[in-house]
Amino acid sequence: MNDQPTKLATYVEIAAPTYDVDIYLAYSTHDNFTGNPIYANPYCFLHKDAAGYLARAIELSGRLGYRLLLFDALRPSEAQWALWNHTPDPNFIADPRSGSPHSRGVAVDLTLLDDTGTPLDMGTAFDALTPLSHHGAEVSAVAQRNRHLLLGIMATAGWDFYSKEWWHYQLFEPRRYPLVDDRDLEKPMMV
């Protein structure tokens, strides 16, 4: 008898009411740097470890009067290849041969919403593949303050950040988690 948990059991769907978070999976729309949908189905999954840290970030942002808006979470390896094939820029797109933390289910792309549901000014749009997206870039004082607020919430919740994308947070040591293909998911995202 195999006592190993199935791969499916380690990934959870991020959805209401369990997770009080807004979700707009940009890669299931035309509203991303490729201009085309990457995901056929807008399911939002995370590894159960990352889901626990997300729950903490949701709670912390709520205490301050903000909500989180998720743009991306688990990204199947097939989607990582689609992004890489469109824009093979290792500054913004992880080479799928080594894998992205997203393709391991331990990364999120997100922003903060104010109490009216309006995204805070972060100086660039999500998915802006430009040096202005880097933490510490010369953006307005308001945008810098908002980036620091998001960084503070996410760091306090236990997330690591990626210096070149203000929206990207991941678990520490993401490579200890396996890569996930679309066929590994209970609900396929790519077909």
144-188 pLDDT tens trace: 999 999 999 999 999 999 999 999 999 999 999 999 999 999 999
Q: How far apart are CA 89 and CA 36, in angstroms?
A: 18
Q: How far apart are CA 115 and CA 64, in angstroms?
A: 10
Name the active-site residue from 13, 78, 138, 165.
Answer: 165
Question: Residue 8's pLDDT is what?
Answer: 57
Domains of the chain: 19-184 (3.30.1380.10)
Average the pLDDT over 96-122 and give the result: 97
Question: 2 pLDDT exceeds 60?
Answer: no
According to the model, what pLDDT value does residue 3 have?
A: 37
* 4 has a pLDDT exceeding 50: no
Distance CA 48, CA 72 (A): 16
Of 4-8, 90-94, 116-120, 137-141, which range is least confident?
4-8
Distance, in Å, from the CA atom of 157 to the CA atom of 54, rounded to the nearest integer, reads: 8
pLDDT of 6 > 50? The answer is no
Confidence of residue 7 (pLDDT cuts 50, 70, 90): low
For residue 139, pLDDT beyond 90? yes
With cut-offs at 50, 70 and 90, classify the pLDDT of residue 95. very high
Least confident range from 4-8, 68-72, 93-97, 115-119: namely 4-8
CA distance 111 to 108: 10
Q: Average pLDDT over the chain, rounded to whole?
A: 95
The pLDDT value recorded for residue 191 is 86
Percentage of residues in the chain with pLDDT exceeding 70?
95
Distance of CA 106 to the CA centre of its chain: 8
Residue 114 has pLDDT above 70, yes or no: yes
User: Angle at which helices 48-63 and 141-156 pack, to 10 degrees?
Assistant: 130
Q: Are 38 and 77 in contact (CB under 8 A)?
A: no
Catalytic: 173? Answer: no
